[in-house]
């Protein structure tokens, strides 16, 4: 009780600082010591669900915790998987929870879809929604995408045909775990040189997949060494695919999302003509599922923005920003979109130690999550406004889960939450950006006598105005819910 009292004392102090956000804390989970990883699944009428597991690749057992909408712990349910099974994805719909499981044996690989009601333990049924012809058929990641209204889910399975060419099968299911349609697309590219890299699905059930094709005979310094293609799937028109036309430039990072305002798929990311990791500007591509016509726009970053981001000397030398990765892209009602990206790089640090008086050297990986950039693009592909949020987070692997940022989107604003720079991990920052680019930055957690840090990459937006994330508090893991209220 004293522990909860202190939490609410911190809560009151936080609300006094940030009147637009309300914070709620869960009680201490009773089964906390069974899990290493925590991941917020989502929310529906049954409550808020959290996945807890010990194996990073989601093999083996796991369990699901259910909380009330005010974060009171309700129950927990264990799930066991055999050594030949792997959990691909678990997600919420209005009717309950769905589990996508890959199951292998000597003859085939199957994709199963399990459906539960609001309570984790009430299993309503399991369905084998797809079965491949060979054990070796599924050798790539299974891509799962959800529509905005959570009524349609697209599951893309990468395979290979008898000629070892890449084949992609799209299984679209509704929120009651019923298969609506299944289409297969065979490409002319050898399977071992392709890799799926993103998927999206519209509320209508139309879906799209991006995959990469690497040319074996071309050098990595040649933009044509890696090309990206999009496959679209529609219940009436089947599948079709077309290249993004990026053989003349590097597509360093990108995202594909459904744009319900335009009823299209929008692909946006960073392009560069010199380096595969650099960003000379933004490229936008749009298409529908019923045609193969791509509408492309390029928008170079102005050099003043580049100078602020990487330094005046580097900008004068003609350098571009590097190592920025898109964390979120969201379409806007005016036909444009907003990109949120973060600097990420793994560097090596050498260490010297002595063993029986003899000096030894070793290296450790240092994870660097630094500056955040926000770029608003209009319907014509031009940059409307952009911001740089300075952030420095560096650590070894054991602390890297405390880095990066959580993102949630409201009707007229976007919100970022992250732990302050490495030396100030006890402070949790909140950044709000309005549609017109007005930015506000505040501290929402800053306790003096207790350690606190969120785990942003394990958090999730559970509603249009709220974000739930695991929170480390004196070696215990609780949940923190941030709700933004309209002014």
* CA 472/CA 29 separation, integer angstroms: 12
239: number of CA atoms within 13 Å, CB side?
22
Q: What's the angle, vertex CA 263, arms to CA 188 and CA 328, rounded to 5?
A: 80
CA atoms lying within 13 Å on the CB side of residue 140? 24
Closest-CA residue to 281 (of 235, 339, 334): 339
For 145, the 3-state DSSP assignment is strand
State the Cα–Cα distance between residues 242 and 244, nearest whole angstrom: 7
State both tokens at 195.
């890799």
Please enumerate, as own/partner, the contacts of 401-405 that have beta carbons within 8 Å and a separation of 24 or more. 401/455, 401/457, 401/458, 402/453, 402/454, 402/455, 402/456, 402/472, 403/367, 403/369, 403/456, 404/327, 404/342, 404/344, 404/369, 404/456, 404/457, 405/327, 405/342, 405/369, 405/372, 405/456
Residue 9 is predicted with a pLDDT of: 39
Q: Which residues contact 53 (CB under 8 A, 6 or more apart)?
A: 35, 36, 37, 39, 60, 61, 62, 63, 87
Measure the CA–CA gap between 64 and 76, rounded to whole angstroms. 6
Query: How far does CA 183 lie from the centroid of its chain?
Result: 26
pLDDT tens by residue, 408-461:
999 889 999 999 875 555 799 999 999 999 999 999 988 877 888 999 999 999
CA–CA distance, 418 with 422 (Å, rounded to integer):
11
Cβ 370 vs Cβ 391: under 8 Å? yes
The residue ranges of DSSP E strands in 264-403, in sequence order, are 264-272, 281-287, 295-300, 324-331, 337-355, 358-377, 383-389, 393-395
Q: Are 123 and 73 in contact (CB under 8 A)?
A: no
Distance CA 130, CA 135 (A): 13
CB 41 within 8 A of CB 64: yes
Q: Convert the pLDDT of each residue in 387-408 to its tens digit.
A: 999 999 998 888 888 999 999 9
Tokens found for residue 251: 């597509």
DSSP 248-287: GSEEEEEEEEEETTTTEEEEEEEEESS-TTB-SEEEEEEE
pLDDT score, position 118? 67
Half-sphere exposure of 227 (CA within 13 A, CB side): 14
Nearest to 150 by CA among 89, 209, 87, 98: 98
Residues 391-400, buried b or exposed e (16+ Cβ, 10 A)? bebbbeeeeb
Record the tokens describing residue 194, joined without a space: 């392709």
How far is residue 369's CA from residue 363's CA, in Å, rounded to a whole number? 19
pLDDT at 106: 80
Q: What is the pLDDT along the chain (487 residues), one digit of tens a residue?
A: 334 434 443 443 444 344 478 998 988 665 455 567 889 999 999 899 999 887 777 776 788 889 999 999 988 888 888 888 888 999 998 888 899 998 888 888 889 988 887 666 566 667 889 988 764 556 788 999 999 999 999 999 998 888 889 999 999 999 888 899 999 999 999 999 999 999 999 999 999 999 999 998 888 889 999 999 999 999 887 888 889 999 899 999 999 999 999 999 999 999 999 999 999 999 999 998 887 778 899 999 999 999 988 999 999 999 999 999 999 999 998 889 999 999 999 998 887 777 777 777 888 899 999 999 999 998 888 889 999 999 999 988 888 889 999 999 998 899 999 998 755 557 999 999 999 999 999 999 888 778 889 999 999 999 889 999 999 887 788 999 999 986 6
pLDDT for 47 equals 92
The residue count of the chain comes to: 487
Record the tokens describing residue 393, joined without a space. Answer: 């987070």
Instruction: Write down the pLDDT at residue 19.
Output: 44
Residues 6+ apart with CB under 8 A from 336: 376, 377, 378, 379, 384
Supply the pTM of this predicted model.
0.88
Residue 71 tokens read as 């974060």
Taking alpha carbons only, the member of 190, 183, 142 closest to residue 166 is: 190
For residue 77, what pLDDT is reported? Answer: 84
DSSP 322: B
Q: Are 478 and 29 in contact (CB under 8 A)?
A: yes
Q: How far apart are the C-alpha atoms of 240 and 169, rounded to whole Å?
A: 12
Q: What is the largest CA-CA distance in the chain?
A: 74
Q: Which helix (H) or strand (E) holds 16?
A: helix 2-17
Contact, 383 vs 299, CB < 8 A?
Answer: yes
């Amino acid at each position: 009780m004293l522990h909860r009292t202190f939490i609410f004392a911190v809560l009151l102090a936080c609300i006094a600082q940030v009147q637009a956000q309300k914070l709620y804390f869960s009680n201490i989970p009773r089964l906390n010591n069974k899990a290493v990883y925590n991941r917020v699944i989502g929310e529906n009428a049954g409550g808020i669900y959290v996945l807890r597991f010990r194996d990073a690749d989601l093999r083996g057992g796991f369990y699901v915790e259910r909380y009330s909408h005010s974060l009171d712990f309700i129950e927990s349910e264990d799930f066991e998987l055999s050594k030949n099974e792997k959990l691909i994805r678990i997600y919420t719909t209005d009717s309950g929870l769905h589990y996508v499981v890959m199951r292998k044996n000597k003859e085939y690989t199957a994709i199963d879809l399990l459906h539960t009601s609001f309570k984790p333990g009430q299993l309503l049924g399991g369905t084998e929604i797809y079965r491949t012809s060979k054990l070796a058929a599924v050798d790539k990641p299974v891509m799962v995408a959800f529509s905005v209204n959570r009524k349609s889910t697209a599951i893309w399975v990468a395979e290979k045909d008898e000629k070892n060419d890449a084949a992609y099968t799209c299984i679209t299911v509704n929120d009651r775990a019923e298969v609506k349609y299944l289409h297969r697309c065979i490409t002319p590219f050898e399977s071992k040189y392709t890799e799926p890299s993103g998927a999206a699905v519209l509320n209508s059930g139309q879906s799209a997949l991006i995959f990469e094709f690497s040319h074996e005979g071309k050098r990595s310094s040649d933009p044509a060494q890696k090309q990206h293609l999009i496959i679209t799937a529609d219940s009436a028109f089947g599948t079709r695919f077309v290249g993004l036309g990026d053989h003349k430039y590097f597509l360093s990072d990108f995202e594909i999302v459904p744009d319900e305002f335009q009823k299209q798929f929008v692909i946006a990311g960073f392009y560069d003509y010199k380096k595969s990791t650099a960003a000379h500007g933004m490229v936008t591509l749009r298409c529908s599922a019923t045609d193969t016509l791509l509408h492309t726009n390029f928008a170079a970053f102005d050099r003043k923005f580049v100078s602020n981001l990487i330094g005046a000397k580097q900008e004068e030398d003609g350098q571009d920003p590097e190592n920025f990765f898109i964390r979120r892209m969201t379409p806007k009602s005016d036909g444009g979109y907003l990109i949120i990206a973060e600097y990420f790089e793994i560097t090596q640090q050498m260490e010297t130690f002595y063993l029986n008086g003899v000096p030894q050297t070793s290296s450790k990986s240092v994870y660097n999550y630094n500056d955040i950039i926000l770029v608003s693009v209009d319907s014509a592909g031009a940059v409307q406004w952009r911001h740089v949020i300075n952030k420095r987070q560096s650590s070894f692997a054991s602390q890297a889960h405390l880095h990066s940022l959580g993102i949630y989107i409201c009707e007229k604003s976007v919100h970022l939450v992250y732990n302050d720079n490495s030396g100030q991990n006890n402070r949790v920052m909140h950044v709000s950006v309005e549609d017109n680019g007005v930015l506000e930055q505040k501290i929402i957690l800053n306790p003096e006598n207790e350690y606190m840090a969120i785990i942003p990459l394990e958090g999730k937006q559970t509603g249009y105005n709220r974000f739930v994330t695991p929170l480390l508090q004196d070696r215990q893991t609780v949940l923190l819910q941030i709700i933004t209220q309209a002014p």
